[in-house]
A and B are shown apart, each in its own frame.
Chain A
Amino acid sequence: GAVVSQHPSWVICKSGTSVKIECRSLDFQATTMFWYRQFPKQSLMLMATSNEGSKATYEQGVEKDKFLINHASLTLSTLTVTSAHPEDSSFYICSAKGQGLRGIQYFGAGTRLSVL
C-alpha cells in the first residue's frame, strides 16, 4: 500500500522558535497533500490543502503566516510553525493522495508538538 512518512514524530520547542514538520510520500507521487490538526479526543481539523508547485489553500481561521506550507515536489510537503507559542501545541497530521489511487488519502503517523 501507499506509505506516507511524517517526521519528526514528537518535538518539544521553546516559545518563539519555529518548527518544521516534513511529510513524504514514499512510494507514490502525491499530487495533493493535506495538513490537519487534531486536539485530544477530537476529530481532525483540516488546516490547508496543497498541490505540488502551487500555493497552499488555507481553511478559514488558519493563519497562513503562522503555518507555512511548502509543497515543492511530488513527494515532499513541509509545515513550518513559525514563532510557536504554547497554544500551538497539538497533534499535526499530514495526508497525501496521488493519481491512480482513486482519491484515497494516506496519512502520516502524526507529529506531537509541545511548545514550552
Chain B
Amino acid sequence: QQQVKQSPQSLIVQKGGISIINCAYENTAFDYFPWYQQFPGKGPALLIAIRPDVSEKKEGRFTISFNKSAKQFSLHIMDSQPGDSATYFCAASRGSNYQLIWGAGTKLIIKP
C-alpha cells in the first residue's frame, strides 16, 4: 500500500513532441505528489508538485494531471527538448515528516 508505481520504464520522444509519464498509488492518505528530474551523476531536482485538492497544475512546459478517484497522476512535458533528456521520478508523501515514497523512475530520451 506504500508503493508508487511508475510507467513507462523508458521513453523515447521526438523533439517537439509530448512526453507523458504515469504514476499510480494505493495509499489514499498521501497528500503531496512531486515530480523530480535527475541528470546522470546529479541529485534529483524538484520539477513540479501537486496536492490532491487540484486536478491539474501547469508550470511552463510541464503539467501534472491528477485523478484522485483513480489514484493516478501524470507528468506531461510539452514541446519536449533534447535538454529534457533525464530520468524522472514521481513520488508521494503523507504526514508531517514528508517522507517520500518513490516511483521506479522513467528514463526519457528526446531525439533531435
Main SS of chain A's interface residues?
A: strand
- In contact, A106 and B46 (Cβ under 8 angstroms): yes
Q: Does B60 interact with chain A (Cβ within 8 Å)?
A: no
Give the number of residue pairs across the A-B interface with Cβ within 8 Å: 51
**Which residues on A sit within 8 Å (CB–CB) of B104?**
42-43
Q: Does A104 interact with chain B (Cβ within 8 Å)?
A: yes
Q: What is the distance, in angstroms, from A19's C-beta to the closest C-beta of chain B?
A: 18
- In contact, B98 and A103 (Cβ under 8 angstroms): yes
A104 to B35, CA, bound (A): 11
Q: Which residue of B lies closest to A111 (CB)?
A: B43
Main SS of chain B's interface residues?
A: loop
B12-44 to A contact mask, C-beta < 8 Å, 1/0: 000000000000000000001010100001111
Query: Residue A104 contacts which of B34, B99, B103 (CB distance < 8 angstroms)?
Result: B34
**Which residues on B sit within 8 Å (CB–CB) of A106?**
46
Q: Does A11 interact with chain B (Cβ within 8 Å)?
A: no
Residues of B in contact with A (beta carbons under 8 Å apart): 32, 34, 36, 41-46, 49, 89, 93, 96-100, 102-105, 107
- In contact, A93 and B43 (Cβ under 8 angstroms): yes
Residues of A in contact with B (beta carbons under 8 Å apart): 4, 6, 32, 34, 41-44, 46, 49, 91, 93, 95, 97, 103-110, 112
- In contact, B46 and A104 (Cβ under 8 angstroms): yes
Q: What is the distance, in angstroms, from B79's C-beta to the closest C-beta of chain A?
A: 24
**Which residues on B sit within 8 Å (CB–CB) of A6?**
43
Q: What is the distance, in angstroms, from A17's C-beta to the closest C-beta of chain B?
A: 23
- In contact, B103 and A43 (Cβ under 8 angstroms): yes
**Which residues on B sit within 8 Å (CB–CB) of A44?**
44, 89, 102
- In contact, A105 and B98 (Cβ under 8 angstroms): yes
Q: What is the distance, in angstroms, from A22's C-beta to the closest C-beta of chain B?
A: 14
**Which residues on A sit within 8 Å (CB–CB) of B49?**
104
A43 to B45, CA, bound (A): 14
- In contact, B43 and A32 (Cβ under 8 angstroms): no
